[in-house]
A and B are shown apart, each in its own frame.
Chain A
Amino acid sequence: EVQLVESGGDLVQPGGSLRLSCAASGFTVSTNYMSWVRQAPGKGLEWVSVLYNGGNTYYADSVKGRFTISRDNSKNTLYLQMNSLRAEDTAVYYCARIRFLQWTGDYWGQGTLVTVSS
């Protein structure tokens, strides 16, 4: 059974850093496209970043230069390192497996809440 479990969300001050984790089971992270998608309170979904199986990474303009997506193949885990956090980064962060030929998120985690506030 495919499962994604996010962790690492917390309350952090503006300008601070946080690392989110997404532990996968039932499939291999390194052979799939993996993505982070966020949802601000009461708002819609917003794509954040994607990591291709070959290692290429891409980011939304809103986080480019501040966030870094990566993976640990030995732990079958996806990460999102978030630096220089802003109030507008406050959101539930979901990781998702991307079925790359169809460009669709077929499995999603339950999300982890990041709150940026002083």
Chain B
Amino acid sequence: QSALTQPPSASGSPGQSVTISCTGSSSDVGGYNLVSWYQQHPGKAPKLMIYEVTKRPSGVPDRFSGSKSGNTASLTVSGLQAEDEADYYCSSYAGSNTLWVFGTGTKVTVL
């Protein structure tokens, strides 16, 4: 049950874009279109931002978008705003044995 690999940090200036990668294997990210992304501010619960690779829940700004290629999923935050500064975690369904695996997390800093 290895964690999905994310870069520890990413940053951008207000208005710019930042993209975070999430690398797994054919047993998780590459095998299913069931990748989600969560935003977590310090001391708060995770908040769902993207599900099924590209879909946004109601209320999530369209500045947040997701994609996937092979075993790597990506989250792009466009038009960075100060409130986007947070930790971001990907997750994926990982089959009937492992079920659910999370990424290592990426701290996004708005410069």
Contact = CB atoms under 8 A, between A and B. Distances in A.
Nearest to A94: B45
Contact of B51 (A45, A47, A50, A102): A102
B48 A45 contact: no
B41 interface: no
Interface stretch (A13-21, A68-76, A80-88, A107-115): A107-115
Contacts of B103: 44
Given A44-B103, A94-B46, A105 B36 contact: yes
Q: Which interface class (under 10, 10 to 19, 20 to 34, 35 or more) fits B?
A: 20 to 34
A108 B44 CA distance: 10
Contact of A50 (B38, B44, B47, B100): B100
A44 B51 contact: no
Nearest to A110: B45
B99 A45 contact: no
Residue in A35, A37, A58, A104 whose Cβ sees the most chain B Cβ within 10 Å: A104
Interface of B: 1, 3, 32, 34, 36, 38, 44-48, 51-52, 55, 57, 89, 91-93, 99-105
Given A37-B46, A102-B36, 15 more contacts: A44-B89, A44-B105, A45-B102, A47-B102, A62-B1, A94-B45, A94-B46, A102-B52, A103-B32, A105-B46, A105-B48, A106-B51, A108-B46, A108-B47, A110-B45
